[in-house]
């Protein structure tokens, strides 16, 4: 069995274990079945911590691959790409609700912090691309130094959506859909050209025409 398959197999065992036991395994041995020994999985990193990383990362990677397969995806606006990302993402995690409830329970604070970090690299890469694309097609306004914080702002939304989804009791989790729609519109309206640019423009003009301006040019 290839390393990836073994890792996936063990990750599934971990999900099953958490759903059943509602707590973390004390060691990776707890995940073994029948005559299996630690050696069976020697070729993969079988530390539960690493398995969590693998699972969380794969949600993002699989979401992105579903989007790439969509023939309309390339033509979408940045706003639509972000919306599509979240709708596909919540669809990817829906089978693992019980597992994620354990991972994101307040008792597992350390683990939660860890898995959040595990999702970061592929998600941040996606977000960075989105921001760049938005700046080029002018859906997102380039505001010089502020550009650096755009990705950080958008990055937080993933955990907001995930936590809201876990608590969402509405039928078909329709409230999460509503949240995604609102959240993405809010972010895109804030990052796109808006009244803040006019405000900054006026501020800059006032400053340039004030007595202070002579000190500024020195």
Q: Which of 181, 197, 198, 208 is in the footprint of other proteins by CB under 8 A?
A: 181
User: Would you give the binding string for other proteins spanning residues 140-179, x where CB under 8 A is met?
Assistant: ------------------------------xxx-xx-xx-
96 contributes a contact to other proteins by CB under 8 A = no
Tokens for 137, please give them: 């097609």
What burial class does residue 216 get, using C-beta atoms within 10 Å of its C-beta: 0-12 exposed, 13-18 middle, 19+ buried? exposed
Q: Which of 23/170 has CB closer to other proteins?
A: 170
Structure token pair of residue 48: 């539960």
Residue 15, C-beta contacts closer than 8 angstroms, at least 6 positions apart: 55, 96, 99
- Contact flag: residue 79 with other proteins (CB under 8 A): yes
Distance between CA atoms of residues 108 and 16, nearest Å: 17
Q: CB of 99 within 8 A of CB of 11? A: no
- Tell me which stretch binds other proteins (CB under 8 A): 72-80, 95-103, 141-149, 153-161: 72-80
Smaller CB separation from other proteins, 7 or 84: 84
Written as six digits, the tokens of 24 are 């973390």
Smaller CB distance to other proteins: residue 17 or 59?
Answer: 59
Please answer whether residues 134 and 191 qualify as being in contact, where contact means their C-beta atoms are separated by less than 8 angstroms: yes
In contact, 82 and 188? CB cutoff 8 Å: yes
Q: Is 69 in the site for other proteins (CB under 8 A)?
A: no
Distance CA 182, CA 43 (A): 45
97 binds other proteins (CB under 8 A): no
Is 72 near other proteins (CB under 8 A)? yes
Count of residues that bind other proteins according to CB under 8 A = 19
Residue 80 near other proteins by CB under 8 A: yes
> DSSP class of residue 173?
G
Check residue 98 for interaction with other proteins (CB under 8 A). Answer: no
Q: Which residues bind other proteins (CB under 8 A)?
A: 72, 76, 79-80, 83-84, 87, 91, 170-172, 174-175, 177-178, 180-181, 184-185
């Amino acid at each position: 069995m290839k390393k990836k398959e073994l890792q996936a197999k063990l990750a599934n065992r971990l999900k099953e274990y958490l759903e059943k036991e509602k707590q973390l395994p004390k060691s990776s041995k707890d995940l073994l079945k029948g005559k299996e020994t630690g050696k069976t999985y020697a070729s993969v990193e079988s530390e539960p911590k690493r398995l969590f990383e693998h699972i969380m990362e794969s949600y993002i990677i699989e979401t992105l691959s579903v989007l790439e397969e969509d023939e309309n995806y390339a033509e979408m606006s940045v706003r639509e790409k972000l919306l599509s990302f979240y709708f596909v993402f919540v669809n990817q995690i829906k089978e693992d609700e019980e597992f994620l409830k354990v991972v994101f329970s307040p008792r597992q604070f350390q683990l939660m912090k860890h898995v959040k970090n595990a999702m970061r690299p592929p998600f941040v890469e996606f977000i960075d691309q989105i921001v760049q694309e938005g700046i080029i097609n002018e859906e997102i306004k380039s505001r010089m130094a502020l550009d650096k914080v755009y990705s950080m702002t958008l990055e937080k939304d993933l955990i907001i959506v995930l936590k809201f989804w876990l608590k969402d009791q509405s039928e078909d989790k329709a409230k999460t859909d509503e949240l995604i729609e609102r959240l993405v519109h809010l972010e895109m309206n804030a990052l796109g050209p808006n009244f803040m640019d006019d405000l900054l423009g006026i501020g800059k003009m006032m400053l340039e025409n004030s007595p202070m301006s002579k000190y500024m040019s020195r």
